A and B are shown apart, each in its own frame.
Chain A
Amino acid sequence: MPQSTGRPDIPTVLIVTLLTGPVLAGLMGTILPAFGYLPVLGYHSISPEPLVALLRTPGLMASVALSFGTGLIASILSLAIVLIFTAGWSGTRTFERLTRFLSPLLSVPHAAAAIGLAFLIAPSGFLVRLVSPWATGFERPPDVLILNDPMGITMTLGLVAKEVPFLFLMTLAALNRPHIRDYYKAGASLGYGRMSTFFKLVLPQVYPLIRLPMLAVIAYATSVVDVAQILGPTTPAPLAPRLVAWMNDPDLTKRLMASAGALLQLLVSALALLVYLVLERLVSAWQAARFASGHRRRRDGFARLAGLLPMVLIVALMTASIGLLGIWTVAKSWWFPAALPQRWSFERMLDAFGVGGHALFATLAIAVLAAGIATALTLWLLEARSYRKLSARSRVNTIVFLPLLMPQISFLFGLQMLFLLGGLSGTFEAVLLAHLIFVFPYAYLALSDPWHRLDPRYAKAAASVGASRMRIFWQIQLPLLLRPVLVTFAVAAAVSVGQYLPTLMIGAGRIVTVTTESVALASGGNRQVAALYALLQLVIPLAGFILAALVPSLAFRNRAAMRLER
């Protein structure tokens, strides 16, 4: 096989361009209007006006504090819940059972989860209904601000419920490497308790693999729009949803202010990342100082229980939320305080299906294309890099994650302007490209580990009997990786379906998906229709994951070694 020539290969160049191009161009497109330069709208001079206007906006600091606080707290809380649960229960039956629940929850889009949660915990929601009126005496919904509470507690809860499954699966993937079981044994045979062993021996080794996903969670949570619109405070709202409102304001000067705000958002998220990195340093230094103490902490029963409870609670909340979405779609009338609908109707669901058909079709088309392209590009990149024996860990990894480490809103504003200039705004292709920027990193995240874990001797064995590079890829590597490739496709499709802001901004109202529809409907009064659209968001990811599970089982039904291990 040829050695690296130092010349970058085509897929690397292509993918780096695909990801950094729009991000950098979008950033420029945000920065210039932020300083008053937007020729299309007739603003030709550089001025600090938009920044000044931004800083004069009432409640700006409150919005900033909300974005920073809810995002950072939700992220750290999610990681803590995941790590404490994993520390206490990894390797037990309870762990395996909960894993089976958590994996499908990953595919639930943020907006759908938020809508389900709203239906569950609102003053007129299912939980209050369950205990009304017999226990509470409520004949009508109590007048308390559970949703949209000014502190953003509900929004934080919504983010935690959604980020926990993601970080959990990232942790599971990180733990899935050779010798990890032996390190558990080594800890136990030296007398260390289960949780001590995890935090002192296992976590320091796998944390580097959880780190980038965690940073992506922070960048996302501090700049989230859809969850904030559904569950977040409104007086004032966190920064990101306010920016979207300014962007859509008929007053065009608000657009310049929105761009300045998008820069501020970049700063807020960067600050949150920085604070996290400092905390990370402090915790790991504190931890390292305790290696030498020899404390075994064998009595960790209480801590283990404390780790189990939040996890069970989250799984229960999410499952109940999704179940509730299902009930609402077939409810004809469901007045407070009845725990279940008074009248059921499937016709309305079918009606809404007819109305929502085009949105579902658009969602499906974008998801399948984005996932297909992202998976193919990932395979091309991985194959080319391992053929040229380039190191797996390199700058490419960081570049791939770049779009996830920045607030989407900061460069989507600029990108929207550019597409507007190019006459591409609101086209299917532009939305597809915007999705691809966010879908590709997840596809790469899902597939690069299985690819590198594939025994390289298979390719060598094939090459030694004269197989060409093409044949090795199509007949050896791809079939061996069929399961992870399909899972990658399903993950990518789920990510695409979940994209709210890219569809909203680049689609310019002309490309409508079930996700943008459901967020728009969530604030309206019609719970049936909102629930239906939220449920439609689940259909595509679910179908993807079922296919990913079924196809390899059928294709390799007579191949024992191709079954899942365990």
Chain B
Amino acid sequence: MSATPAHAGLVLEGVSVRLDGAPLFKIDCHIPPGQILTIMGESGSGKSSLLDFVAGFLRPVFEATGRVILNGEDLTHVPAPERHIGLMFQSPLLFPHMSVLQNLLFAIPPAIKSRSERRQLALQALDDVGLAGFSDRDPATLSGGQQTRVALMRTLLAEPKALLLDEPFSSLDQNRRADVRDLVFRLARKNHLPVLLVTHDAEDGAAASGMTHYLNKEQGGGCSTFKQPRVVSGDQ
């Protein structure tokens, strides 16, 4: 990996979310580009609230302190559409009124103006995940794994600078799961994206082979718990 500037990546600086005055969790983490931070926690521990806070969707009933910094830019008060943070949900959430191709075209930034170039990018993306020839299909006719792959490419085509994964593998059956998971992680690393993965499946965390953080209101917020102490450092 090439040397990255010190501020590269996604930084959660002293982030703490409270509901009705009661603290849900605290977290203080730095996710370098290409690295995956796995967030584990009981249901109700605030996993979704953390994702909502980072992506800019936290509802006003929650009070949050701390900052979200992406590649040195403070995003805490930036509206969600301008954050350039890609999001994958528990369900693939392909837009049911569009074809597979339209779903992908929808994500490509408008700066790419030429119709043929946009189309080419989308078709290439489909090809990359082994779905060449699916472009005109109705998303509803795809299998769960296929839908998740299209959703992944839709997220990446929007050229995000970070990736948030909200248990995107939970709806897949066991043998599909590992394939799709590896694909997501591989592409995230290839694009040098810092990744925040929320899951309650320890296997997802192990496969991510990065840092793991257990959301917990008593504990301090640092990313102290490492499965494998593999922090990216300056020395190569």
Give chain A's interface residues, CB within 8 Å of chain B.
Answer: 93, 179, 182-183, 185-194, 200-201, 204-205, 291-296, 298
Contact = CB atoms under 8 A, between A and B. Distances in A.
By secondary structure, the B interface counts as loop
Contact of B96 (A187, A200, A205): A205
A282 B39 CA distance: 47
B87 A186 contact: yes
Given A189-B80, A190-B106, A193-B81, A292 B118 contact: yes
B91 A298 contact: no
A182 B80 contact: no
Nearest to B103: A291
Given A292-B105, A294-B106, A294-B109, A192 B81 contact: yes
A200 B81 CA distance: 15
Nearest to A196: B81
A178 to B, nearest CB: 10
Contacts of B98: 291
A189 B60 contact: no
23 contacts: A93-B60, A179-B91, A179-B93, A182-B93, A185-B55, A186-B93, A186-B95, A188-B56, A189-B83, A189-B85, A189-B155, A189-B158, A189-B164, A190-B86, A193-B81, A291-B102, A291-B105, A292-B115, A292-B118, A294-B107, A294-B108, A294-B109, A298-B81
A185 B60 contact: no
Nearest to B97: A204
A283 to B, nearest CB: 14
Contact of B110 (A179, A187, A295): A295
B3 interface: no
Contacts of B89: 182, 185-186
Nearest to B104: A292
B87 to A, nearest CB: 4
Contacts of A291: 98, 102, 105-106
Contacts of A294: 105-110, 112, 118
A298 B109 CA distance: 12
Contacts of B108: 294
Contacts of B93: 179, 182-183, 186
Residue among A93, A179, A185, A295 with the most chain B CB within 10 A? A185
B47 interface: no
Nearest to A294: B110
B57 interface: yes
Residue among B57, B83, B96, B97 with the most chain A CB within 10 A? B97
Contact of A191 (B81, B91, B95, B118): B81
A102 to B, nearest CB: 21
Q: Across chains A and B, which 5 residue pairs bring their CB atoms closest together, nearest first? A: A189-B87, A188-B80, A292-B105, A204-B97, A294-B110
B110 to A, nearest CB: 4
B26 interface: no
A200 B164 CA distance: 23
Interface in B140-174: 154-155, 158, 160, 164
A204 B98 CA distance: 10
B84 A191 contact: yes
A191 B159 CA distance: 10
A174 to B, nearest CB: 14
Contacts of A200: 106
Contacts of B164: 189
Interface in B65-122: 79-87, 89, 91, 93, 95-98, 102, 105-110, 112, 115, 118
Nearest to B84: A191
Given A191-B84, A294-B110, A295-B110, 9 more contacts: A182-B89, A189-B83, A189-B87, A190-B155, A200-B106, A204-B97, A205-B97, A291-B102, A294-B105
A179 B92 CA distance: 11
A298 B93 CA distance: 22
A95 to B, nearest CB: 12
A201 B107 CA distance: 12
A291 B106 CA distance: 6
A304 to B, nearest CB: 12
A539 B198 CA distance: 53
B96 to A, nearest CB: 6
A21 to B, nearest CB: 38
B162 to A, nearest CB: 10
Contacts of A191: 81-82, 84, 109, 158
Residue among B83, B84, B106 with the most chain A CB within 10 A? B106
A93 B55 CA distance: 20
A179 B90 CA distance: 11
A296 B106 contact: no
Contact of A188 (B81, B96, B118, B154): B81
A292 B95 CA distance: 13
Contact of B57 (A93, A183, A185): A185
Residue among A190, A194, A200, A201 with the most chain B CB within 10 A? A190
A262 B56 CA distance: 56
A238 to B, nearest CB: 38
Given A204-B97, A205-B97, A189 B86 contact: yes
Nearest to B102: A291
A288 to B, nearest CB: 8
Nearest to A201: B95
Nearest to A298: B81
A292 B96 contact: no
Contacts of A187: 81
A160 B29 CA distance: 53
